[in-house]
Structure 1
Amino acid sequence: MIRPNIVKKTFPSGFKAQVILKPGFNQRFFGIIVDFGSSDPQPVPGLAHFLEHKLFASQEGDLSLEFEKLGSDVNAFTSFNETMYYASGVKNVGPTIDLLFKLVGEPFFTKENVEQEIPIIQQELAMYQDEPDWVLGDSLLRAVYGDSNLAIDVAGTKESIASVTSGMLLATYEENYVAEKLSFVACGDFSENQVKTIMRQAKTLSETYFKPGKGAKRSKPLPFKAGQDLVLPSQGVPLFALEVSLPNFKKVLASQDLAQILLEIMLESKLGSMSTWFAGMRQKQLLNQPLQISVNTTRQGNYVMILGTSQDAEKVIAELKKQLQADQLFAGREMDGFFDLLKRSWLAQTIRGLDHLPAFSVELAEESLDGEDIFAMTKKIQAMSFADYQAFCLDLWQGCGISTAYLAQGQED
């Protein structure tokens, strides 16, 4: 995989900036990522997400309208440990960067605009809560991780959202939106002079808007309750979920991203649509659709979530538990061949992703906070033998805890 030309700088304040050069692309992408998300410590659940919403407010009005005037699209997202604000367009590079820094660096919280936002975010949460998979995942994570921020929806709860005040927002912003926890990324076709100008602009704006400092301390991994098995009232679909808590990421591999990718490859090999196990489940008419498998890595805990539909969820869950025992993970002749096949598939997807400016920029922005390197990681995966891969995955799986939940058909609230 060919590494694009990337210019990086860390300024005296601790603020980081990088410009990713993509010759021949008309689109330009700009983002500021913050090392603070929904599962990090905060006064009430959902406050990081509430901040994401309210930073678009200014004394002049909604800043998204100002981006529109520049011909730029703007948006933001909050994840477990990060919040990112980003804009893309073709022209007006300087003004777009100015406005992006203003958005992130100039909070405008008032009693009135916070109160106006509360029902908007509550309605956003209510939309998710109507989905059966949300009900299942929320119940399962709360059973495993209690009432921690990791278990609670990114938006919080109806009650926590209602308790947010302008003072609470400002205090949390000042504690977390500091130079050393922030990173800027620009991606596109820029000349050498433009790169220098962007870097100067990022330095000046970061010094204008963000105070030096490390901000709040990072939280430690949470304890979890393994072996939770829930039966929930029907939501109209025969849905089930299986959660695997993984305490061993840091002990095995220095790279969280590499650990995540190796486990995704292993689980796809074992349970994916091309696996012998899935073919058997289809033949028994226990599964008709592939499982949804995600590996989630956070500071507070790492876990696998597996979702699926079946008219006999109990049987499928029992079969999944058998398959996910350490002595069964690499049973079967197909695993060696699947590793090579899925490794090539992952590499092809990664290479294609280089040309998707927003996704690639977000990936590198996240890496700037975590000290990861997708190009070094790719080389490691390419060179990794099946024996090494097997050993890593088995180590990562040690000490895991499996919990389950399903929606019981015929039982209503």
Structure 2
Amino acid sequence: MKKLDVTTRDYKSGFRAKVIRRPLFAQKFMGIIVDFGGSDPQKLCGGAHFLEHKLFAKKNGDISQQFEAVGVSTNAFTTYNETMFYASFTEHWRQVLPLIFELVGTTYFTKSNVTKEAKIIAQELAMYQDDPNWQVNYELMQMMFPKTNLAEDLTGTKASLKKMTPEILQEIYDNNYVSGRMEFVACGGFSENQTREVLREVGKLESKYLISKKVAPKKLTLVSPKKQHNTIIDSDLATSRVGIGIRLPNFEKVGLKNSTAQTILEMMLQAKLGVTSPWFEEMQKQGILNSPMELQVSYTTEGNFATIIGASNKPDLFLENTKNQLLEVPISKEAFVFQKKEVLAQTIREFDDLSTVAIEEAEYGLENEDFNTAAHVIQSLSFNEFYTAIDNILAKSDIFTTILKGKEEAD
């Protein structure tokens, strides 16, 4: 498998920069990732996402307009673990680079713009809450991680949005947007000379814009789950929604890195429950499952988990069959080989998507890993190693279920 050509530089402040050279590409990508996301400790839940929105507001207006003025597309996202701000473009990297640092390194919070944003995000939250799958996921997270940020949506709650103030946002920013928790990444057709120039300019900009102070590394802070492991909720849905939550152990305690464990578990879920599995075909024949399920594996500072959510007119049968398939039926070597090929094929496809590979490399950097090493680990993974890892993880896991019962089942 091809390897990324990455030049890395660590600065005295703890800030890190990477340039990924792809000489045949006209497109370029630049971004800054922050090791702070929705599940991390913060004054109000939803603070990381709120902060992501408001950093685009500057004293002279929305900074995205300055990006647009030079033909640049800019955006941002917040996950459980990180926040990232980025820009995609073909020309004018010298103008883009300082704008990225100004975006992340300056704040302008006012009572007016915070109040206005709270209303916008509240509408976003209300839209999510109307989704039956969101409701199922919410119930699962409430059981697995009660009274944590994981138990709420990344956008926060109605109450937390109303309580948000410029002072609280600034406090969240000052505590987390520090050089030691941030990393810059550039990807595209940069020459060796341009790479050196980028890294030199990054050094000047990070010392100008970013707060430099020592920060403690993130620690996994586990909470006790609820004793209730199963819930049934009546609804007006025509088709029931069923969810299974797997509260996973600390991956380090089973000898795995987070990214490796996540990939292995995703392979397992696809092999057992995915659209290419014999089980999925059988569930369709029996009329138990009509569409693919949502399968997700995540690791965070408040705990690791997997969620399985599907729609079924026979929710009890669906739940029984899914749990049996998940916990009792072994994975064949043929299924493992197929899933491994799928993962490696996806990695190759990502290799040629500049924004995806840059974001992945930045995310790996926060874990002190890199794209090349992570890909090699999966490439060299044997069936026995895969099977042992799955056994070790599931032996230390806890299962939770919820059913959002449709009209027919509720009657």
Match of 1:271 in 2: 273
Counterpart residue type for residue 394 of structure 1: D
1:136 lines up with 2:143 in the alignment? no
- In structure 2, relative to structure 1, the CA distance for the partners of 1:309 and 1:285 (3 Å cut) is same
Contact 2:243–2:308 (Cα < 8 Å) also in 1: yes
Matched-pair contact (CA < 8 Å) for 2:148–2:302: no
| SS of structure 1 residue aligned to 2:42 | coil
Corresponding residue number in structure 2 for 1:98: 98
Deviates more, 1:180-189 or 1:296-305: 296-305
What SS does structure 2 have at the residue aligned with 1:324? helix
Displacement after TM superposition at 1:84 (Å): 0.3
- Residue 64 of structure 1, CA deviation: 0.8
Kindly indicate whether the alpha-carbon contact (under 8 Å) linking 2:4 and 2:371 is maintained by their aligned counterparts in 1.
no
Compute the displacement of 1:377 (Å): 2.6
Instruction: List per-residue Cα deviations over 1:339-360 (Å, max 9, x = no partner).
Output: 1111111101101111111111
Aligned residue type for 2:289: L
Paired residue for 2:347?
350
Q: CA deviation at 1:227?
A: 5.5
- Name which of 248, 257, 260 aligns with 1:258: 260
Matched, 1:386 2:383: yes
Where 2:147 maps in the other structure, the secondary structure is: coil
Superposed counterparts of 1:170-185, under 5 Å: 170-185=170-185
Q: Which moved more, 1:245-254 or 1:219-228?
A: 219-228
Partner of 1:408: 405
Q: Could you tell me how far 1:175 is from its partner in structure 2?
A: 0.7
Q: Please report how far the alpha carbon of residue 398 of structure 1 lies from its aligned counterpart in structure 2 after TM superposition.
A: 1.6
Could you tell me whether the CA contact under 8 Å between 2:31 and 2:186 is conserved in 1? Answer: yes
- Residues 248, 398 of structure 1: 8 Å contact kept: no
Root-mean-square deviation (CA, aligned residues, Å) is: 1.5
How much does 1:337 deviate?
Answer: 0.4
Out of 319, 324, 331, the residue aligned to residue 317 of structure 1 is: 319
TM-score, normalised to structure 1's length? 0.95
Tell me which moved more, 249-258 or 121-130: 249-258
1:217 positional shift:
5.6
Q: Which runs of 5+ in 2 are unaligned?
A: none
The alignment partner of 1:18 has SS state of strand
Post-superposition CA distance 1:221-270 (Å, at most 9, x none): 33323652111232523211111111141212341111111111112111
Matched, 1:2 2:14: no
Alignment-mate amino acid for residue 128 of structure 1: Y
CA distance in 2, matches of 1:92, 1:295: 38
Of residues 281, 300, 303, the one that matches 1:301 is 303
Alpha-carbon deviation of 1:383?
2.3
2:235 is aligned to 234
Q: Distance in 1 between matches of 2:224 and 2:66?
A: 45
Asked whether the equivalents of residues 241 and 310 of structure 2 are also in contact (C-alpha less than 8 Å), the reply is yes
Q: 3-state DSSP class of the match of 2:151? A: coil
Deviations 1:266-303 (A, max 9, x none): 12111122223222222221112222211111121111
The answer (yes or no) to whether the contact 2:4–2:372 under 8 Å persists in 1 is no
Give the distance between the partners of 1:370 and 1:64, measured in 2 at CA.
29
The answer as to whether partners of 1:144 and 1:226 remain within 8 angstroms in 2 is no
Moved more, 381-390 or 43-52: 381-390
CA contact (8 A) 1:81 1:298 kept: yes
Going from structure 1 to structure 2, the CA distance change for 1:329 and 1:205 (only over 3 Å counts) comes to farther
State the alpha-carbon separation in 1 of the partners of residues 132 and 276 from structure 2. 27
Tell me if the contact between 2:252 and 2:258 (Cα under 8 Å) persists in the aligned partners: yes
- Give the TM-score normalised by the residue count of structure 2: 0.96
SS at match of 2:399: strand
Partners of 1:177 and 1:215 within 8 A in 2 = no
Q: Which amino acid aligns with 2:4?
A: P
CA separation of 1:232 and 1:96: change in aligned 2, threshold 3 A: same
Structure 1 gap segments, 5+ residues each: none
Q: Aligned pair in 2 of structure 1 residues 386, 55: CA closer, same or farther (>3 Å)? A: same
Match of 1:27 in 2: 27
Distance 1:53 1:235 in 2: 34
Q: Contact 1:248–1:397 (CA<8 Å) still a contact in 2?
A: no
User: Structure 1 pair 39/248, CA: closer, same or farther in 2 (3 Å)?
Assistant: closer
Give the whole-Å Cα distance in 1 for the aligned partners of 2:276 and 2:191.
46
AA aligned to 1:409 is G
* Structure 1 CA distance for aligned equivalents of residues 268 and 136 of structure 2: 24
Match runs of 1:79-118 below 5 Å: 79-118=79-118
Q: Hey, what does 2:357 align to over in structure 1?
A: 360
8 Å CA contact 1:34, 1:83 repeated in 2: yes
Counterparts of 1:250 and 1:97 in 2: how far apart (Å)? 36
Which deviates more from structure 2 when the two are superposed, residues 289-298 or residues 214-223? 214-223
Matched, 1:51 2:48: no
Offset from partner CA, 1:69-127 (integer Å, 9 cap, x none): 01101100010010000011111101111111001001111122111211011111111
Looking at structure 1, the residues matched to 111 and 153 of structure 2 have their Cα atoms a distance apart, in angstroms, of: 24
Comparing 391-400 with 272-281, greater Cα deviation is found at 272-281
Corresponding residue for residue 281 of structure 1? 283
1:384: Cα distance to partner? 2.3
Structure 1 match to 2:223: 222
Residue in 2 that maps onto 1:369: 366
Match of residue 294, structure 2, among 286, 292, 295: 292
